[in-house]
Structure 1
């Protein structure tokens, strides 16, 4: 927000701040739901492995959302946790792990089927309006798939000035987008080719794959571990930093009334998760 204020003025900073905080809040909720779905997928995978694919393996959402929020609150008490170098490396390893496994499982499923399912026009819809809505949903998913834009300026601010930060960041962003897009296309295309119009919203939690169950468990565990660390970055970008001074003053006054909010910044995000566990009892594929 400081960059917006410097280049566009305080008025634009306020407007952008509203959208930025809304995006961060939504991302935090999405991380919560996704992590919860992965935990439930691990439990269901083990249940189906022991009791068969028709076993009644049903698990709730709220408890695991609350647990995720508590974990985030505890992690936020570690000084400069999000600045630990190995945290970024660990998150990258987790990302590559579940992306590679997901792509590999989809590819192997296509080979097992012996045919490529689906069509070039995608999932059929009952009307043109419904098809248009699905297209907009897909665009929203694509936008959500590149959340690094929320912290790109912060990353650039940590770079050394030789070579210039903008040149280094431009090259790094290009490589990151190419690599990320490659994995997304592999997961999406192989998944659709494997299951066609019945492709679940999330290949790893929607049980497109049941076996090998240990590999499905490992993949979902990688997702959970990645999101646990990634949320710390998102929560620190939200309240109270990165917002106009008057909004921050309101937050500070609130902290004086509610001592619980005087924890480190990440606690605000954790409390948000505790609330979302009650507001959103049922998760969706995100």
Structure 2
């Protein structure tokens, strides 16, 4: 369960009470009072792939078009290497002080609090939950764009490619939100494995469809598009100012494509205690990062080769492809199914955080505490309804939906989320935790290069955020919601 602990004793008391109320066998509990975890390297890898290969992969052809054949693949490899390296540092903080037998830190915030103290703990909370909110909004936007693409694809097939087939996306945003209101009532991460595995399969499917369509486009007779070593050309494709801003935005899009550090600890908290969680999580992170980077290189490079400097912001919905329309439809349906799962993977940490905080603040409230068992046919265990959970999670889905309705700008929004979250969550806190745990001496060679990596990533994040803010500001001037 993704929750912040004020102290271990209060949490154990809360957990043991919940265990007795729900009738769990005390012999089937982990060392922290939770019901025994059953996660494996496979489920952890599926969770990571579900979180990582999402809306980010759809923008990579556009990102490479801005950066070109040299800087584009180099940026992908750099972000990949940094993400894996810092994820291995973060996994060690799950238990403290000993990484194998120490007390569990159930969330990213707890890891920071246990290793770095209270002030950085609060900054981590702001960064982590800000990233979670931004990512879930981005998933709503992306899903609605894919649903719109399905409707437009059928319209083009029926009426011809010259027809505008203009379709509003806000009805589809509302449809996606309705699904999330229902799924958000799943109590915690431990019951999401089936959804993550399904979503991971969908991500492979639509990525493969995009690559296949791109290859087919490259193989078309007479196909010729303009690409270059440095991406879009000043004076031909864009102005010099636009080139700079788009380059910054592209870095933000690539950073977003590797976003999973904010939920890494929560995923690690689903693993069985043997073998040690840190060892399993390192293997899962390596497998997931290698898998996603391979997909990213293929999707980005093949997509850029297919579309050239005019690559659309979303290569499955930008209508560089029109036929076969049914395959394009299927690919976009896979995007929607995947992001339904990804929304929940990212949303669970903030759901649990608010629920635990409220239960500690108002411990006598029946509205917050009481669980009501409902027997559902074909399920062994009853489903527990909590009215506070019902109201709070529904409210969260509605709020993120409203923001998505107001700012439905794909590339700018996902780039901004990536830029703002990459440095603090993927780079700064893991490095600081490692320095504290390993007691690395200040100004030593290891301390120096870790700090240089940290500052270099901060500069990249700042310029990426600046580019995305400029893009959002330009889009808002011409956009009329509803």
Q: TM-score range by the shorter chain?
A: 0.7 to 0.9
Q: CA deviation at 1:17?
A: 0.8
Partner of residue 232, structure 2: 123
Q: Distance in 1 between matches of 2:186 and 2:269?
A: 23
Which consecutive aligned stretches of 4+ in structure 1 deviate over 6 angstroms post-superposition? none
Say which is worse superposed, 21-30 or 233-242, in terms of deviation: 233-242
Q: CA deviation at 1:273?
A: 3.0
Gaps in structure 2 of 5+ consecutive residues? 1-108, 369-385, 415-482
Partner of residue 125, structure 2: 17
Contact preservation (8 Å) 2:138, 2:404: no
Partner of residue 374, structure 2: none
Q: CA deviation at 1:204?
A: 0.4
Q: Does 1:271 align with 2:380?
A: no
Q: Distance in 1 between matches of 2:352 and 2:257?
A: 25
Q: Normalized against structure 2, the TM-score is what?
A: 0.54
Residues 222-278 of structure 1: per-residue CA shift (max 9 Å, x gap): 0001111111121112245179959x859xx9x98xx98641664243122332254
Larger radius of gyration: 2
Of the candidates 205, 209, 212, which is equivalent to residue 321 of structure 2? 209
Which one scores higher on RCO, CA 8 angstroms, separation ≥ 6? 1
Say which is worse superposed, 168-177 or 32-41, in terms of deviation: 168-177
Q: Does 1:156 align with 2:264?
A: no
Contact preservation (8 Å) 1:5, 1:13: yes
Q: Does 1:177 align with 2:289?
A: yes
Q: CA deviation at 1:166?
A: 1.6
Partner of residue 68, structure 1: 176
Contact preservation (8 Å) 1:45, 1:213: yes
Of the candidates 140, 146, 164, which is equivalent to residue 56 of structure 1? 164
Residues 84-135 of structure 1: per-residue CA shift (max 9 Å, x gap): 3321210111010001111111111111155564111111235555433222
Q: Does 1:196 align with 2:305?
A: no
| CA-atom RMSD in angstroms | 2.8
Number of residue pairs matched?
281
Q: Distance in 1 between matches of 2:400 and 2:239?
A: 37
Q: Normalized against structure 1, the TM-score is what?
A: 0.88
Gaps in structure 1 of 5+ consecutive residues? none
Distance 1:147 1:218, change over 3 A: same
Distance 1:85 1:24, change over 3 A: closer
